Structure 1
């Protein structure tokens, strides 16, 4: 029979290995790495943002065969879009055909939350330091063609700029 003596010195490497494995396993479940793509399965931690009643922003909407395609300069007053200017040919066509289709940032956030609730295949967002969304990517069904949407929000200005 072989006798093995266990000494504190022989346990140290084993304890270090076990501790390292526990730490690595725990690290897999927290906040996403900076730059990692957030999704409805792993929400990105962001600053709280309350949509102001008055603001202006630029919206670029692409992907799929959705009615809202192009780049728009949007003015919101009292929580409603009061002006949407098409900045390219596609968006000018949209504004002529359906002027009320251009959404507020709040409506875009609601669409994102609806996609998350409905367990869309993709429902991701990137946020600015103040918490307002910068990019929203949606795809309800990866196997369906043209049901996705990509929104890029830029030139966000809280309060309505004078002359807008």
Structure 2
């Protein structure tokens, strides 16, 4: 599993959103994009993280950042998640885990002391030219947006 490094070209992708509409990395060309990878919609940590992005979205957008979440969930599950949590940014379905793998966000990880294969909670920031600006792996769900904002020089107020 290879992890992305700042300066690398971000792997391209097209994935369905909660409505089944196709969303591509190229849709965000000319804008900065925060892509966060999470294990499963409607679980406590992933819900906390999604709501943290939702609650800080206006500030992030004010600094020129768009946000998308990517998980191996189905579009139907993502639709329930979006509705239940009033998410105001796209969450995308990567059911075959190809994008998760391309971004280094799927592979072996430690879970409760055991080595398992699964989604590695990660965040990649892509700049206006499609290059990796920031790559963080094994992030914590709680406090993640604040850590990310600090790394990006964004004051959440």
The TM-score with structure 1 as length reference comes to 0.28
When Rg is computed on C-alpha atoms for both structures, the one with the higher figure is: 1
The TM-score with structure 2 as length reference comes to 0.29
- Larger relative contact order (CA 8 Å, sep ≥ 6): 2
